[in-house]
Amino acid sequence: MPLGIKVYVDFVFKKMFGSPENSIALIGLLNAILELPRTITDVTIQNPFSYQEFDNAKVVVLDVKAKDSAGRIFNVEMQIAIHPGLLQRMMYYVSEMYTDQLAEGDDYTQLNTTISICLLTRTLFSDSGKAHHRFEMMDAESGRKLDRAVEVHTVELGKFDFEEMTISNASPMAQWAWLILNAHKYTAEELRHLFPELAFQRAIGCLESISSKTEDKTMHDQREKAQRDYDWMLSTARKQGIKEGIEQGIEQGIEQGIEQGREQGIEQGIEQGIEQGREQGTIIGAIQALQQILGDPISPVDTLVAEPFTQLQEKLADLQSRVRSRLDS
């Protein structure tokens, strides 16, 4: 019988890659993604897996923080949905991790490379067939890269071209992508045959343990449902916010066009209103969804539409920060 345990469920992902006893699996994943000149040989997990963080969690908990023997700091997270500001949020937190290395009076030369990795089950860059994007700090003209700085990696798992018959010969990253997306469809014996390397064997052993332990299997099922509900709630709120934001944006555009007194101005006003309303509505929907998750009063659309766009962006960033702080506490 197939294991039925999905790696991309937050409970499973954190237990597989965030447990000290499974650090070999995290090392294997990091080496597959980063392909560093000198491979990672050991890591210390800084926010190790614990059952308590999932007991009453209403939001998904999907990040693993670790540090290797070279001093590099890693944050690996799993995302099953694409939310507004994802890349900006990654940049914000990787920068925060970078600056958190120093205490008052420390030397800046002590700062080490900080790397944020986001694994995605959905498409982030629809205009690119490339699965792995690596964003580094470098000079655009000369290509000179800043050493010991920050990096952001996005890995769109569904873009890897793999099949069961050929996965054993695929790249390590494609193999991890396949395992994360498809492990639940196979038995432990079938997976062990496909992936004989130690890192994969440890990951498969973790899946087998979860499937055979009643409380772990129950937690997996509960967290899978929580993720679906969370994604549905965000999607519903965002769609409603987009709809109302676009409608108000069109109205404002028409009014501006009429004031210009030209038919061409009215048409341009409508077009600008639609575009502005769509972007504004996306942010409004995300703000309302996060307010609901945090238990805050839900701001009316009329109130949010009246706020400057930059103020909406700041409000969204603040709510995202509060959700993140709740996960880390």
Per-domain boundaries in the chain: 10-212, 233-328
pLDDT, one tens digit for every residue, the chain (329 residues): 899 999 999 999 999 999 999 999 999 999 999 999 999 999 999 999 988 877 665 555 568 999 999 999 999 999 887 877 889 889 999 999 999 999 888 899 999 999 999 999 999 999 999 999 999 999 999 999 999 999 999 999 999 987 777 888 899 999 999 999 999 999 999 999 999 999 999 999 999 999 999 999 999 998 888 777 766 666 666 566 555 555 555 555 545 554 554 444 545 554 555 555 667 777 887 788 788 777 788 888 878 878 888 888 888 888 877 876 665 55
In angstroms, the CA 117 to CA 40 distance is 15
Contacts for 207 with CB less than 8 Å, ≥ 6 apart: 3, 5, 7, 12, 16, 183, 188, 191
What separation in angstroms does the CA of 279 have from each of 245, 247, 282, 298? 8, 12, 5, 19
In angstroms, the CA 307 to CA 294 distance is 21
In angstroms, the CA 302 to CA 245 distance is 9
